[in-house]
């Protein structure tokens, strides 16, 4: 799987894409109707640890 590409299913892909866009776990759960635990589990498994995710985090901290 490439950076922030869709996951293996139509239920996983939007969760990963929203996280890569900078949405928080509660925001993703509200949009997708997943539970907070389900979103966390999906992101733990499928979210790439890459520059996009890191930049989003640094931007939120005001460092970029």
Would the pLDDT of 59 be above 90?
A: no
| 3 neighbors 9 (Cβ within 8 angstroms) | no
Which tens digits make up the pLDDT trace of 1-49? 556 766 678 889 999 999 988 899 999 999 999 999 999 999 999 988 7
Angle between helices 36-46 and 13-20 (to 10 degrees): 80
Q: What is the pLDDT of residue 37?
A: 98
The CA angle 9-11-17, to the nearest 5 degrees, is 90
Q: What pLDDT digit, counting tens, does each position of 41-54 carry?
A: 999 999 887 787 78
Give the model's pLDDT for residue 16: 92
pTM of the model: 0.75
């Amino acid at each position: 799987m490439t950076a922030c590409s869709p996951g293996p299913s139509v239920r996983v892909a939007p969760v990963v894409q929203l996280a890569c866009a900078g949405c928080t776990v509660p925001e993703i759960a509200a949009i997708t109707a997943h539970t907070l635990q389900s979103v966390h589990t999906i992101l733990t498994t499928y979210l790439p640890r890459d520059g996009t995710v890191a930049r989003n985090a640094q931007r939120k901290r005001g460092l970029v």
